[in-house]
Amino acid sequence: MLTKPDVKPSGEGAGDSAEALVEVADLEVHFGLRGSLLGRFGGKAAGAVKAVDGVNLTLRKGEVLGLVGESGSGKTTLGRTLIGLNKATGGSIRYRGQEISGLGERALRPLRRKLQMVFQDPHASLNPAMDIRTAVGHPLRIHGLVDSEQEYDARVTDALERVGLTPPERYLGKFPADLSGGQKQRAVLARAIIAEPELLVADEPISMLDMSVRAKILQLMLDLKRDLDLTYVYVTHDLASAKFFCDTIAIMYLGRIVEYGPTEQVFADPQHPYTKALLAAIPEPDPRLAVERELPRGEIPDAAAPPLGCAFHPRCPVAVAECGWEARDLRALLERRWLDLPPETSAAEKALLGNFDEPAAPGLGTVSIAPGRSHTAEDVLEYLRRLREEASASDPREPFWRGVVSMHAESGRAVVEFAPPRDPRLDLIPKTGVQVACHLHQHAASAQGT
Amino acid sequence: MSTVTEPMNRTADPVLSVRDLRVWYGTERGPVRAVDGVSFDVRPGETLGLVGESGCGKSTLGRGVLGLTPAAAAVDGDVRLNSKGGAGRNLTELSDREIQQLRGPELGLIFQEPMTRLNPLMRISQHFEEALHTHHKGLPKKEVKARALEALRGMGIPESRYENYPHEFSGGMRQRIMIALALVLRPAFIVADEPTTALDVLVEAQIIRILADLRKNFDTSLVLITHNLGIVAEACDRVAVMYAGHIVEQGDARTVFADPQHPYTKELLRSTISLSTTGLHFIPGSPPDLVQPPEGCRFHPRCPVAMVGCATVEPPEVTLPSGVRSTCWQQAVEVDPSLADELGTGGREPLAAVKEISVADEA
């Protein structure tokens, strides 16, 4: 793969001196959707969920990288793929220079002890029928790392001590059911470190724990990192803990990284509208610090039919023309409007439009709307023009209309055309080490350049 | 305990008054005192946040108020519902049938996991029809639909989704449908048990806004059970902090969070990881076993400012000048120095070396 100039200087702030442990280039993980048999014969692909869609990043030794996003953003899939638990469908993952994305199970096995995972739910990641001695030491047996029972016990005892389950003798014979949530997560961490890994992917390691234990487990992870020279990938939706815990942070949305850079920089001056929204959504316990907030509407879209252009555009308050406006957005706009109107008014407006299912299809750059019974295309256009007029006076301004390039009548139907979509590239912002994928930023950059 | 009837400069009478509520579960080892003498009021249109670690009795309290405790639980105390349909009756004395009739039109519950609480085989419309038919027999079909759509519209669910099945909605939409289902019967009082725990940050913020708007639009009273202190600070008028079956501090949410009084509230706030966190703090140990709760103040084994007397004498509840009520000897002796006698000679000395608490006691 050729080097891409726009992705190279990743994680600049995290210390260039450290060696790169994992390098990810154009990584794709697509999950095929099963369509109908007929559909496949007809050449109609059932499509794929692009869980990870072109991700580039570099993980340096000793770094803590946070993968942050909502459910469905692909953060967990990316984390799992990094250590070979999911198969990549494209791109490359190099661990210490060695390509691991295409490796089979047999070739991957020796690497697995260096790449470990901590799962979200400590109650589900320990076998209830295995005592702690067996569970924590299991990796030693799998990888054949010990020669005698004495050595086995010594290693298990050592691991338990490291995670604070002391005295270890007290825990060796216990079963997961005897332990509290925090203790289980400690046992899971002991199992993860016993084979002396280099990289630990922790998928929401504290989100299932009680809040009084969360800080303890985070502290333990920091201690382990210091003592054992670990590198972490911390997958989470909790920005507050990520801010405290991570050196570098990658904000993900629908399979892509939208902002990536040193944690301090990203939190001090968030660039992507999505990052700004996430930060504004965190409830603040201290009333003196609480602020009024503007929440983005809607929810994360269906990954099987992602929006055109920038995936965040339907929720973005500052989207511009080329962000990827499409027919679906018109339908969403009208439905939002009708929610706020009295039922009679919205029913009257609905009657203007004929079949309203067409604008629901994904990816339409042009849509033609049939007028309702006893209405003409001109009525529909007039209605839409009126909406645009109203929107231009509203505050904050509705960004949807920026994407509409023309509205005209054609053979008895109203046709709405949208600006052609462009995918935003992940671009480096000079001097900050932060990369952001947003047209607004690229506009600003080109304006400065000329 | 001192009286709990002091008015907190509110005008309206409480819609729900709970006095000395106890919910004990029977186990082989003896009764688990999950809720052990709790008193609070909720006024019309008010949101009360209930916070505390897991195992402090928050959910049990919510269920106990609604009469939804399992068969093995014993409920005692006074839960007065002063709404129109409640008519000042004590809910703990009603028969199953009587309280069942109040659930829906008077009492509502919003569950934690929206994913599992809607019937996957029923359309959204059927959920609403069932709820409305159960409590308003003979309501015309048109009226049912109109009321359902109105409730859904309030939650931002478009009319076109009315005939969809639950799996066709996202988690946040399902939770909004749950809220709409609870609201369609216009109850006077709702318990929301961790309504946003399973949701993402942005969706959580949307739901909190909806809950905060409830009091304006519906005049519904809400008890919001959560472990997220940020949510309470944003969405609640008042807050009650629970520890080991007791309410240890309650008062105006802003006052409590700006200037927490009880050591447990202070420690809880300190151990919360927020955007302003610069160092990790945690409360050592875990909530006590409620079969044999510690003597004296139940928090004393974990309390950083415990005194000798705290280990033996239960603290009284005192009302501070700010209107906040706290159950802690530190504040009690400040408010009324004569109370110090109860602690005995040397009772105010610091409790030397709080026992070393190891991971063995961790939650």
Q: What secondary structure does DSSP assign to B48-65, as a single string?
A: EEEE--TTSSHHHHHHHH
CB atoms within 10 A of CB A439: 22
Q: Are residues B212 and B276 in the same domain?
A: no
Q: Which of B233, B255, B277 is the last residue of a domain?
A: B255
Shortest CB distance from B156 goes to which of A71, A339, A343? A339
Residue pair A67/A80 in contact by the 8 Å Cβ criterion: no
**Cα separation, B125 vs A108, whole angstroms:** 51
Q: Is there a domain that residue B5 lies in?
A: no
Strands (E), B5-117: 16-27, 30-42, 47-51, 73-81, 89-90, 107-110
| Domain parsing of chain A, residue ranges | 12-34+47-280, 325-418
Query: Nearest-CA residue of chain B relative to A337?
Result: B158
The string of pLDDT tens digits covering residues B265-293 is: 999 999 888 888 888 888 888 889 899 99
A71 touches chain B (CB under 8 A): yes
Residue pair A22/A199 in contact by the 8 Å Cβ criterion: yes
CB atoms within 10 A of CB A98: 10
**Cα separation, A272 vs A261, whole angstroms:** 12
Q: Are residues B51 and B128 in the same domain?
A: yes
Q: Are residues B173 and B292 in the same domain?
A: no
Residue pair A237/A69 in contact by the 8 Å Cβ criterion: yes
Q: Are residues B71 and B204 in the same domain?
A: yes
A267 touches chain B (CB under 8 A): yes
Which pLDDT band, with edges at 50, 70 and 90, does B2 fall under? very low
Q: Is there a domain that residue B3 lies in?
A: no
* B171–A282 C-beta distance less than 8 A: no
The pLDDT, as a whole number, for residue A165 is 92
Q: Is there a domain that residue B11 lies in?
A: no
Shortest CB distance from A285 goes to which of B272, B280, B282? B272
Q: How many angstroms away from the CA of A163 is the closest CA of chain B?
A: 10
Shortest CB distance from B233 goes to which of A214, A278, A285? A285
Q: Are residues B75 and B150 in the same domain?
A: yes
The pLDDT, as a whole number, for residue B171 is 82
Q: How many angstroms away from the CA of A226 is the closest CA of chain B?
A: 16
User: Could you tell me the CATH superfamily of domain A12-34+47-280?
Assistant: P-loop containing nucleotide triphosphate hydrolases (3.40.50.300)
Chain CA centroid to CA B118, Å:
23
Tell me the ipTM for this assembly: 0.83
- HSE-up (13 A, CA, CB side) for residue B331: 22
For A322, A323, A324, A439, the CA distances from A420, given in Å and listed in that order, are 6, 8, 7, 13
**Cα separation, A274 vs A312, whole angstroms:** 7
Task: Indicate whether A10 pLDDT > 50.
Answer: no
How many domains are there within chain B?
2
Identity of the residue numbered B313: V
Sheet arrangement for strand A90-95: A48-60, A20-32, A90-95, A98-99
**Cα separation, A191 vs B197, whole angstroms:** 28
Question: What are the beta bridge partners of residue B61?
Answer: none
The string of pLDDT tens digits covering residues B24-35 is: 998 888 999 999
Shortest CB distance from A285 goes to which of B173, B209, B257? B257
Residue B329's SS3 state is: helix
Which pLDDT band, with edges at 50, 70 and 90, does A207 fall under? confident
Q: Are residues B133 and B245 in the same domain?
A: yes
Q: How many angstroms away from the CA of A282 is the closest CA of chain B?
A: 7
Here the tokens at position B227 are 């472990």
Task: Indicate whether B86 pLDDT > 70.
Answer: yes
The pLDDT, as a whole number, for residue A450 is 45
List of residues 6+ apart from B28 with CB closer than 8 A: none
Q: Is there a domain that residue B129 lies in?
A: yes
Residue pair A32/A46 in contact by the 8 Å Cβ criterion: yes
Q: Are residues B199 and B100 in the same domain?
A: yes
Shortest CB distance from A180 goes to which of B205, B282, B286? B286
A413-422 average pLDDT score = 91
Which pLDDT band, with edges at 50, 70 and 90, does A19 fall under? confident
Query: Please, which residues 33-62 of chain A have a Cβ atom closer than 8 Å to chain B?
Result: none
- The mean-pLDDT minimum among A201-205, A378-382, B163-167, B207-211 falls in B207-211
* A283–B230 C-beta distance less than 8 A: yes
**Cα separation, B174 vs A247, whole angstroms:** 36
Residue pair B242/B57 in contact by the 8 Å Cβ criterion: yes
Domain span holding position B143? 16-255
Is residue B124 left, alpha or beta, with left meaning phi > 0 and alpha meaning psi from -120 to 50?
alpha
A214 touches chain B (CB under 8 A): yes
For chain B, the distance separating the N- and C-terminal CA atoms, rounded to the nearest angstrom, is: 29
* B258–A240 C-beta distance less than 8 A: no
Task: Indicate whether A241 pLDDT > 80.
Answer: yes
Mean pLDDT of chain A, nearest integer: 87
The pLDDT, as a whole number, for residue A314 is 92
Q: How many angstroms away from the CA of B175 is the closest CA of chain A?
A: 13
Question: What are the beta bridge partners of residue B27?
Answer: B30
Q: How many angstroms away from the CA of B112 is the closest CA of chain A?
A: 14
Probe site for chain A from B275, B289, B356 (most A CB atoms < 10 A)? B275
Probe site for chain A from B280, B281, B289, B302 (most A CB atoms < 10 A)? B280
Q: Is there a domain that residue B232 lies in?
A: yes
Identity of the residue numbered A362: P
Q: How many angstroms away from the CA of B120 is the closest CA of chain A?
A: 20
A165 touches chain B (CB under 8 A): yes
Number of CB pairs < 8 Å for A and B? Answer: 147
* A244–B273 C-beta distance less than 8 A: yes
Shortest CB distance from A289 goes to which of B253, B271, B276? B276
Query: Nearest-CA residue of chain B relative to A285?
Result: B230
Q: Is there a domain that residue B151 lies in?
A: yes
The pLDDT, as a whole number, for residue A2 is 39
Task: Indicate whether B241 pLDDT > 90.
Answer: yes
Q: Are residues B347 and B229 in the same domain?
A: no
Q: Are residues B133 and B89 in the same domain?
A: yes
The pLDDT, as a whole number, for residue A185 is 95
Q: Which of B226, B255, B284 is the last residue of a domain?
A: B255
Q: What percent of chain A has pLDDT over 90?
A: 56
Q: What share of chain B is helix, strand, coil (3-state, %, to 5)?
A: 35, 20, 45
Q: What percent of chain A has pLDDT over 70?
A: 91
The string of pLDDT tens digits covering residues A342-371 is: 888 888 888 888 776 666 778 888 888 888
Q: Are residues B269 and B289 in the same domain?
A: yes
Q: Are residues B134 and B34 in the same domain?
A: yes
* B202–A296 C-beta distance less than 8 A: yes
Q: Are residues B236 and B303 in the same domain?
A: no
* Residue B237, domain CATH: 3.40.50.300
Query: Nearest-CA residue of chain B relative to A291?
Result: B234
* A170–B360 C-beta distance less than 8 A: yes
Judging contacts by C-beta atoms under 8 Å, the chain B residues touching residue A164 are 359
